[in-house]
Structure 1
Amino acid sequence: MSLRLPARRVINCQTKSIPASKTLNHTPVTYQQRSAKSTGAYGWMSDKFKNPFNKDVTPKPISPLTEEYLKKKPEKPATLIQGDLAPSSIFEDESIAGPKPKTSNQKIKARNPLTMAAIVDPRPENRKIWERKMVIRQIRKRGRLTKTQLLKRQEREYMLKSHDFKTSVKKMVPLAKQITGKTIDEAIIQMRFSKKKVAKDVREHLEHIKNEAIVRRGMGLKSNDTAHFTPVEIVKKDGKRKTVKSPTTMYIEQAWCGKGLFDTTPDFRARGQMHIMKNRTTSISIVLKEEKTRIRLHEERIAKENRKKIWVQLPNRPITAQRQYYSW
């Protein structure tokens, strides 16, 4: 009676040997079959993973460039030195290469003015005409500036338009009216506690324009001239009184809204009908000025009222509409 065993089991149980010519040290290497329990799910492929194609596994020679690099590479001390590079530093190659070669004392070629003029002065004839016009204007006015030019030099202002918010002009206008005339800090507080959904976007825009006005225009910064400023009580445009403690405090002079682009969304209705909804967007533009401007406007308003003459019912003026003699 013969024992029934699969032929592959009998073969796998025996050790497999590789010819000596195929090994690294010219000695026979044997691979044992491991069970699936010890090697995991892929234990039956352990021999293939070790040497799948039964190739020669002799070590490859080191590249000459690598040998040269290893010779130049300095040995790092066991203890780290303060200010030295770590072994994993990306600047290690620079320390090995050494200091950079000194630049030669060659003179830099002068720039060609004709080439620069193509960008700096593209239309020389028009520039000369404009310069001549400005010189004539200065001679006629004897160097005097207009009131608008003078105020631009003495007072600062900054205007900034926001990106489009997802709301309509009808909803944005009440917020623009609410912050107009208030200082920038008061407006931020108003938008912080507002229940409107778009108030959060307006508050972020107010904080952004405040920071830009300080950096780009120097608004809101105290100087030696304003150190000895005494508080002044003024009357605003709306007739309300306000005490100004610092002339550099920023306030919102104007705030207006503008329509932006809109997206469309289908609105499916009954009986297979469909309407088109417009998702509107709106931007807000804000003009910031300093309290110095509001003080000047208050003084000009008072001076204009003082220049007014007292109204009388019958003013004393010569008669020009009647003749001194009869016309018949």
Structure 2
Amino acid sequence: MSLHLPTRQIAQSTRVTVGGKPNLQSRYLLPRTQRRNAWFDWGFGSSEKSPVVKKLTKREREEKMATRMFDRTSGDNIFDEEIKEPKQEDPGQDRQKARDASAAGMSIAYSAMKEHTERALDPDPRWRIRYQRKKVMQMVRANGELTKKDRIKLSEKQLLHKSPNLATSYKKLTKLSHQIVGKTLEDAITQMRYSKKKMAKEIKHQLEEARDLAIVSRGMGLGVPNGEVLKVPKNIQTKDGKWLQVQDPTQIYVDESWVNKGPYVTSRYQFHARGRVSMMWKPSTAIAFVLKEEKTRIRQHEERVEKQAKKKPWVHLPNRPVTAQRPYYCW
């Protein structure tokens, strides 16, 4: 429906305002121009798309983006040899790999630009320079000698594993944490397998996951080279005062275990009298433990024995000077 003549004249007179834009009141009186692009929905929510969209699917767009990012390089970088050699052998090999990966549902849209590779390899250059300078100063100050802590890190292995937040309370999970600390990994998993607690199954899963990570990433629990073990089992005393017999020094055990509180999660409403309502909050808790090898307990036992041997004998009345003597009574 067209506007009346007086209204149209008003609309045309208010077309040009300050800055060349109509004000908000008169903007709705002006005629509108419909603009369409390649992604315009012809059916207003229907499944019909423009011809351009029909030709270019999501997989093809990902492949096009991957090819464009792969071919875009500026300057020399450390991956030039790896990038150029396959192209000399077969120029279409990389594109075929991109198509195969895209067909399998994988996205390989990475960039080989010099700026991007430098940012990935060295994200914070100033921090790296400060860290290297600090380490050089420490090495010069120590005259190239390693500290006891550094020697232990080089000779002994350990793994810190943290679980996600579990839907249980802090007190309930603490009991299970105390149950596995100090035991070998196999004994801890056995304890959780036959435990009646609900979270024991989840802790068993976390222990098995930590065991796999320790074996794969740290090389723990693989045994002594050439399959050798201690010919004579060694009896050691733990820090809790218990005596153990160690046959394999690379056996994994749970050295530490602790529990951290997580955020509270709302579960549902709790209705009270007189139309009052309150929220019920469920706690969440996470457990963490440190896995080490038996060689660590052997070293700690030997250090305790050596420290005890160096101690001086206890004397009932030691020969020491008497101080704070006064020639008069204090009352």
Q: TM-score, normalised by structure 2?
A: 0.59
The separation in 2 between residues aligned to 1:244 and 1:263, in whole angstroms, is 45
Q: Is the Cα–Cα contact under 8 Å of residues 229 and 247 in structure 2 kept in the other structure?
A: no
The whole-number CA distance in structure 2 between the counterparts of 1:217 and 1:118 is 28
Q: Which residue of 1 aligns with 2:310?
A: 307
Deviation at 1:298, TM superposition (A): 0.7
Task: Specify the alignment match of 1:22 in structure 2.
Answer: none
The CA distance in 2 between the partners of 1:112 and 1:271, in whole Å, is: 67
- SS of equivalent residue, structure 2 residue 291: strand
Q: Say if 1:162 and 1:284, in contact at 8 Å, map to a contact too.
A: yes
Map 1:136-285; keep pairs closer than 5 Å. Answer: 136-224=137-225, 227-229=228-230, 230-264=232-266, 265-285=268-288
Total equivalences in the alignment: 217
Name the amino acid aligned to 1:259: K
> Residue type matched to 2:305 in 1?
I
> Per the alignment, do residues 189 and 139 of structure 1 end up closer, same or farther by CA in structure 2, a change over 3 Å counting?
same
SS in 2 for 1:182: coil
Partner of 2:289: 286
RMSD: 2.9
Amino acid paired to 1:205: Q
Question: How far, CA to CA, are the matches of 1:123 and 1:163 in structure 2?
Answer: 29
Residues 184, 251 of structure 1: 8 Å contact kept: yes
Q: Is the 8 A contact 2:254 2:290 kept in 1?
A: yes
2:204 counterpart letter in structure 1: R
For structure 1, the 5+ residue unaligned runs are 1-100, 105-110, 323-328
In the TM superposition, what is the alpha-carbon distance from 1:245 to its structure 2 partner?
Answer: 1.3
| 1:63-78 aligned within 5 A | none
Decide which structure has greater helix share.
2
Check whether the contact 1:226–1:247 (CA below 8 A) recurs between aligned residues: no
Indicate how the Cα distance of structure 1 residues 226 and 203 shifts in structure 2: closer, same or farther if over 3 A, else same.
Answer: same
Secondary structure of the 2:225 match is coil
Percent of aligned pairs with the same amino acid: 42
Judged with a 3 Å threshold, the aligned counterparts in structure 2 of structure 1 residues 177 and 130 are, in CA distance, closer, same or farther, namely closer
Give a deviation string over 1:191-249, Cα, whole Å, max 9, x none.
11111111111111111111111111011001327614131111112211111111111
Can you give the 5+ residue segments of structure 2 that lack an aligned partner in the other structure? 1-87, 92-111, 325-331
- Cα 1:309–1:267 shift into 2, 3 Å: same
Residue 316 of structure 2 aligns with an amino acid whose one-letter code is Q
- 1:207 match: secondary structure: helix
Cα distance 1:260–1:136, how it changes in 2: closer, same or farther (>3 A)? Answer: closer
Larger radius of gyration: 1
The one-character-per-residue Cα deviations of 1:259-291 (angstroms, maximum 9, x if unpaired) are: 112222211234433232111111100110011
